Chains A and B, each alone.
Chain A
Amino acid sequence: MVYKHIDRIVQTDVLVIGGGGAALAAAISARQQGGKVTLAAKGEVGRSGNSIMIGGGFGMDGQSASEVLGKQGVDATFTKERSFASIVEQSFYLSDQDLVERFIETLPDAFQPFLEWVEEARETVHFIPQASMWSISGRRLGNVLKHALDRNPELEVIEDTIAVDIIVQDGKAVGAVAVDVYSGKLLLIEAGSIIIATGGYQPFSLKSTNSDMNGDGIAMAYRAGAGIADMEFMLFIPTLLEPKSMKGTILPFLMTLPGAFPPIFKVKDGLGHTVAIPEELQGIRTKLNKLVMSWYWGHASVGNGLYYDFSERTDEEIIRAFDQLSQNYASFHKKGTYNKIDLTELLRHVLRERKLKIALGNEYSMGGIEVDANMRTGIEALFAAGEAASGLYGAFRGGDGVSEMLATGVLAGRAAGAYSRERVDEQAERLDPGLVDTITDRLLEPFSLRDGVSPYAVRVTIEQAADSGFHAVRNESGLRTLVDTLARIRKEELDKLSLASTGRTYNPEWLASIAVRNLLDCVEAGARAALLRKESRGTHVRSDHPEVNHEEWLVKIVTKRQGGEMVMHKRKPRTTRIPLPEGQISDIPDFIKSTLAAADRRSERS
């Protein structure tokens, strides 16, 4: 073999990296263009990644649901136009509008096959006509994805395989190096085009998401030379801290949803003070409710912690509330449970303690790989889909993650499939072995170093630094400390990672060395953008700059790797129908109020 460390070579036309909804939608849609499609997933498709972690559903505009999908009883006055305006406004105008338009146009094409799979797999979804939204649980979404894979046996699937880096030759993505998790063997996947569908990044210690949300694909694309944008925008929702065995569940968020749980608790900070949300911002039935909680609870919880207080309620009221919660999820989960959580046990905890300790947990990252409206990145033959991409939701995700993964997956699959098809007769360039060896040498380096730093320890340092400097409410000094800490880790620790065991067979510490490198690239881009952005916008909240400053900061911060260094530049979002606003708004709550008022006006007009 011409390569120093490669154990196996796979050749394909389109390589899709990822194991969730975006990857599968992309792979199936690429395959429809002909050609060989290979899916490389970190875990088992339908049993890994963040698609299975969802706690909601997927929606679209009422017009398309009625006209294209033939759904009855939907609000057809919620037109594509209104849906477009709603996404762009809630993005705080950072959406690339050509992408939003393409996304909305593609939703029916993405939902139609998905709903067929749901039916074939006899999985449960509930259609809620008024919201033109389908609700589903994560586990069942995973089952649907597994079914879709069974339906498409011509897809080559390589599971339990971690892609490490993209190989770029003469400015073009030509393949990837990957690790088989169980054997530790190294794969070279040569590909005509590559779609990254690996999800977002989550650098904090409290996890409601999958354990491996390291931003693998975002970091790989960044190292390959692509731009990554909006990395400072992290979405937070209430997440459980205690009982400790249930830590990380998003049940506290679900308990804020009207219908799921009655509003029988007060939210208090660690000093016992009630954290009040102004009346006009209570009970918002759109995603903006997340931003309201993030703003008010984020400010309150600094250093103090947060809890739901039930002390003013009787046993009967609490029991009735938990009955409602249990009923609400009964068709998706085993009776009396939510995922692994025994709701009766949680109820007993609340009856005993009269409180639930919670925190704001990071569920989603708006940032990711910069793409055009066809999901093309800045690198030839490299595409991105789903949460790994940026541009659709800007500074705040006003739409659904599942809708994003399915529609952008379809778009990326079409574009990559067409790209490879157009070049089917071209002779593939001979791959320069040196490019592959550089990647594998670096990958195996921790095995040869002695007395270095454990990747486990580096991960903890990154998480703690992110917890204190990069959380829901930020300021100059906290961000500066974070940026300095990350720079120190890069300088002093990243090249000194070493491992306790020297074998490659299922070596989690080695896998952590891949993870921390990716996580560091992502959080460093995010932290530096957050330090740069001296205003508040979407989920980026600066206590020292509460104003939403359209005059200076209605720009996206794009990070690129140039000459081995992280370089940032600003650009205006791409606009099509809605001009960028001017002026300043005093803070995030005021922006939310004006957005709600604009939505009301549109609703009255139609």
Chain B
Amino acid sequence: MKVTIHRYDPDADRGPFYQEYDMPEAEASQRTILDILHYLASRQDRTLSYYMHSVCNQGICDRCKVKASGTTVLTCAAVIRSEEPLLLEPAAGRMIKDLVVLEADE
């Protein structure tokens, strides 16, 4: 499965870009977007950043928002149900790095 992710590291990059990853179907199907991000960060690209500190993984803390193919979701609650390519971008707010944002009220 193709996963395209918004990348930007203010300490290293001149500007934002999109990077494409290949996920094994078996590791993506019926998993959450957070599972997919964990998989990519640990197996393919350790520089990948997304909301990752003090994560509840149960849809409780409400802090792991991203835009998945245009729709804002919680990474821990959004489940992959098709083989359609996935586009992940930062949710609304001040973009800090890759998929990490600070929401307006924070």
Contact = CB atoms under 8 A, between A and B. Distances in A.
A and B are interacting partners: yes
Interface of A: 19, 42-44, 47-49, 52-53, 138-139, 142, 159-160, 162, 181-182, 207, 210-212, 243-245, 248-249, 339-341, 454, 456-457, 460, 499-509, 511
Interface string B24-44: 000000111001000001100
Contacts of A211: 52-57
B104 interface: no
Contacts of A339: 58-60
- Tell which of B32, B56, B62, B79 has the most Cβ of chain A within 10 Å: B56
Contact of A212 (B32, B53, B79, B96): B53
Contact of A340 (B46, B53, B59): B59
B63 interface: yes
Contacts of B58: 53, 138, 248-249, 339-341
Contacts, number: 116
A53 B60 contact: yes
A339 B77 CA distance: 9
Nearest to B47: A501
B106 to A, nearest CB: 7
Contacts of A160: 53
B30 A244 contact: yes
9 contacts: A52-B61, A139-B60, A142-B60, A207-B57, A211-B57, A248-B58, A340-B77, A505-B9, A506-B49
A457 B98 CA distance: 22
A503 B53 contact: no
A47 B63 contact: yes
Contacts of A19: 54
Given A182-B102, A506-B96, A248 B52 contact: no
A451 B74 CA distance: 34
A268 B103 CA distance: 46
B53 A511 contact: yes
A297 B38 CA distance: 30
Contacts of B76: 340
B11 interface: yes
A138 B102 contact: no
Given A160-B53, A506-B97, A43 B63 contact: yes
Given A244-B31, A245-B35, 8 more contacts: A182-B102, A211-B57, A212-B53, A244-B35, A456-B42, A460-B42, A501-B9, A503-B11
B99 to A, nearest CB: 10
A451 to B, nearest CB: 13
B77 A502 contact: no
B12 A503 contact: yes
B9 A138 contact: no
Nearest to A161: B53
Nearest to B97: A506
A244 B34 CA distance: 12
A42 B12 contact: no
Nearest to A500: B46
Contacts of B88: none
A195 to B, nearest CB: 19
Contact of B54 (A210, A500, A502, A507): A210
A502 B60 contact: no
B61 A456 contact: no
A138 B53 CA distance: 18
